[in-house]
Structures are given as structure tokens and as C-alpha cells.
Amino acid sequence: MKSTPAPVPVPPLAPLCNTSEECQHQLLAKLKSGQFALYSSDKEGYRTLCYYHATFLFVAVGDDGTSVLRLPTDEVLLGYVWRQSAYKLVLVDGQYKWNYDLTEAEKLETWQGILERLSPFTESKQRFVAGTLAEFAKLAAPQ
């Protein structure tokens, strides 16, 4: 009888970090490895934040058009990701409002959530980024 090999355990994408700074370092390391990226999509479009050709890029394609944002430094990238994620809805006088005043525990939880959203930067997603950049390069070509 042929034995079935035991499944190889898959390590977690991002080990739990104990501080916001640890999470930021892990995020930068994962992105700079070129193997991971952040994605989102909905009925309005598709967005990718990745490290492509040694540059942080945010590429978005949707109903409102196409955009490429180059984030030139680690600090700019971290600030950009933070601004997109560091808020909560709170009920004030019967209405929900955005609140950006997070506790240290909420900040850590937010950074951990960002790490959990990392996905493999697959070949098809790399083609998406390359294709979008190629479209912009055509605009710069002499006529």
C-alpha cells in the first residue's frame, strides 16, 4: 500500500507582531521581497500596491480612469497605507462619523490587519501592473 506524504505546513503570511513598528518593518520586508502586494477590488475598479522594479507603486484602474502613484520612500509608503486604513466609524449625535484618533491597541490591530491583507504578487498581477505602466509609456512616446 502506498503511503500518502504528510502535508507540508504552510507558515503564516505574516507572524503576529507585538508593536506597530514591528508590523511596519514586516510590511516593508514583505513588499520589498517582490513576492507580496496589497490588492482591493470592487464594482468601481481594481487596485494594487506593490514593489515593482525597486519602486513602490499604487496602480488603480476603474470607472473613473487609470492612475499610477509612485511612492518614493519607505516613509511615504507607510504614511500612504496608514491614511487608507487608520480610521473607524463612531456614532456621534446619532450620526456615523470618521474618527482617526486611535488608541495604541487599535493602531497595532490596524497594522496587523494590513499585514493580513498581503497576498502573493502573482504573475498575472505583475502583468496587470506592467500593462498599466506600458499604457502610460505610450503617452510619453513622440508622435
pLDDT bracket for residue 100 (50, 70, 90): confident
Average pLDDT over residues 65-71: 95
CB atoms within 10 A of CB 92: 9
Distance between CA 130 and CA 123 in Å, rounded?
10
SS (H, E, C) the chain: CCCCCCCCCCCCCCCCCCCHHHHHHHHHHHHHCCCEEEEEEECCEEEEEEEECCEEEEEEEECCEEEEEEECCHHHHHHHHHHHHCCEEEEECCEEEEECCCCHHHHHHHHHHHHHCCEECCHHHHHHHHHHHHHHHHHHCCC
Please name the residue that has the C-alpha cell 456614532: 91
Question: pLDDT tens digits for 70-94?
Answer: 999 999 999 999 998 887 788 888 8
pTM reported for the whole predicted model = 0.81
Q: Is the pLDDT of residue 35 over 80?
A: yes
- pLDDT tens for 18-34 read 999 999 999 999 999 99
Q: Give the strand order in the sheet containing 45-52.
A: 65-71, 55-62, 45-52, 36-42, 119-120
